Amino acid sequence: MRNPPKNSPSSPQRPPQKSPQTPKPLPYRPQPYRPSESAPAPSPSAAPPTSSTPPRVVLPRSRRIPLYLALGTAVFGGFYIYSFVNSLRAPQTKLDVPADVTDRYDAQASFFDAEVNWTEWYTGIKKLRRKLMQKAHGDVLEVSAGTGRNVDFFPLEKCRSVTLLDLSGPMLEIARKKWMEKHPAYKNVRFLQQSALEPVTSPGGVEFDTVIQTFGLCSTPEPEKLLRNLEKVVKEDGQILLLEHGRSHYKWLDRLLDNSAPLHADKWGCWWNKDIAAIIGASELQVVKIKRRHLGTTWWIELKPRKGGGRVEEAEEDTADEQRPKLEQRSVAEQQVARKSEKK
């Protein structure tokens, strides 16, 4: 029988000598490392993760593109808002701008659309136009039609006739061309170069079922008179549809609008700081609906004429005493507008 070797665990004579260099024997038999087949092999270029380096996240291409687009939009949007607010805040040179700036439109007709296309798209104005126009029916009159920015949205299947009217010949000419391109088959259309303050009748010689105006109150020095005229040219059960812009819900924004209004009016022929609530109230037309957007600066307004369309009332001469109850009524009308616009 062979003797057990020296220092073997089974040797009873001497315990093994402890040395600081000698590792303690493990209580199990170590196995060589074999990576499992399902685990991905580590890339030779990837740095081994340590507790101080967080793992690197690489987004797939399909996620990166929308992220870059969102970043680009945010930067561009931020820059646009910054420059817009800055331009409003900039001290305006004292300008002697007349209240009537309607002559500005002849000169800007050729580039008007290019100037407003993009802004109207991203602010949703284009969508509002489309929605408003869907309400048109019967004999339709659009006043202050400009370059015909609503031409694409007429629901012609519901329109017996269409009359487009504007004071500016060059603006109206662009509207006419657009119409001919878009609706060559629709023959019952007229283009009238005249003021919306003057009388106008439908091709059948009667009043209109629908009267529309988009962004026209800002351009006329007599907005109440214009609304009164719209009341005269619409049928008693007809509708007056407006999309307008003016003062906002907020004082700080109104201050910015006031500050920049003369420069803007001088350039664009539009006073963007008008008190639309006061104008509607003063017109005394019946308010069917008012909705406001863009911090209150964009106004969707549906009106209908008073009983008799105001025709009987205005035929009589007002004496000072007769005017008093009317003025009281006016403030009631203004309150009615304010209430409707607050409901949104």
What residues line the site for ligand SAM (CB under 6 A)?
102, 105, 143-146, 149, 166-168, 171, 195-197, 214-216, 219-220, 270
CB of 323 to ligand SAM, least distance (A): 25
CB of 214 to ligand SAM, least distance (A): 4
Q: Decide whether 218 or 334 has the Cβ nearer to ligand SAM.
A: 218
For residues 181 and 122, what is the distance between their CA atoms, to the nearest angstrom?
25
CB of 113 to ligand SAM, least distance (A): 8
CB of 280 to ligand SAM, least distance (A): 17
Q: Decide whether 173 or 338 has the Cβ nearer to ligand SAM.
A: 173
State which H helix or E strand residue 18 sits in: none
State which H helix or E strand residue 188 sits in: none
Q: Decide whether 202 or 219 has the Cβ nearer to ligand SAM.
A: 219
Cα torsion 49, 53, 58, 59: sign: positive
CB of 287 to ligand SAM, least distance (A): 21
Assess contact for 168 and 106: CB atoms under 8 A.
Answer: yes
Q: Decide whether 274 or 304 has the Cβ nearer to ligand SAM.
A: 274
Q: Decide whether 123 or 195 has the Cβ nearer to ligand SAM.
A: 195
Q: Decide whether 144 or 161 has the Cβ nearer to ligand SAM.
A: 144
CB of 144 to ligand SAM, least distance (A): 3
Q: Which residue is nearest to ligand SAM (CB)?
A: 146
DSSP string covering 33-99: ----SSSPPPPSSSPPP-SSSPPPP---HHHHHHHHHHHHHHHHHHHHHHHHHHHHHSPPPP----S
Contacts 24+ apart (CB under 8 A), 314-323: 314/228
State which H helix or E strand residue 291 sits in: strand 286-293
For residues 247 and 280, what is the distance between their CA atoms, to the nearest angstrom?
13
Q: Decide whether 103 or 328 has the Cβ nearer to ligand SAM.
A: 103
Assess contact for 74 and 82: CB atoms under 8 A.
Answer: no
CB of 101 to ligand SAM, least distance (A): 9
Assess contact for 107 and 266: CB atoms under 8 A.
Answer: no
CB of 316 to ligand SAM, least distance (A): 26
B/e letters for 184-196, b = 16+ CB within 10 Å, e = fewer, are: eeeeebebbeebb
Q: Decide whether 167 or 333 has the Cβ nearer to ligand SAM.
A: 167
Strand order in the sheet with 138-143: 189-193, 159-166, 138-143, 208-214, 234-245, 298-304, 286-293
CB atoms under 10 Å from CB of 88, counted, come to: 18
CB of 46 to ligand SAM, least distance (A): 59
Q: Beta 208-214 vs 234-245: how paired, if at all?
A: parallel
For residues 149 and 184, what is the distance between their CA atoms, to the nearest angstrom?
17
Q: Decide whether 176 or 334 has the Cβ nearer to ligand SAM.
A: 176
Phi, psi (degrees; rounded to nearest 5) at 252: -60, -40
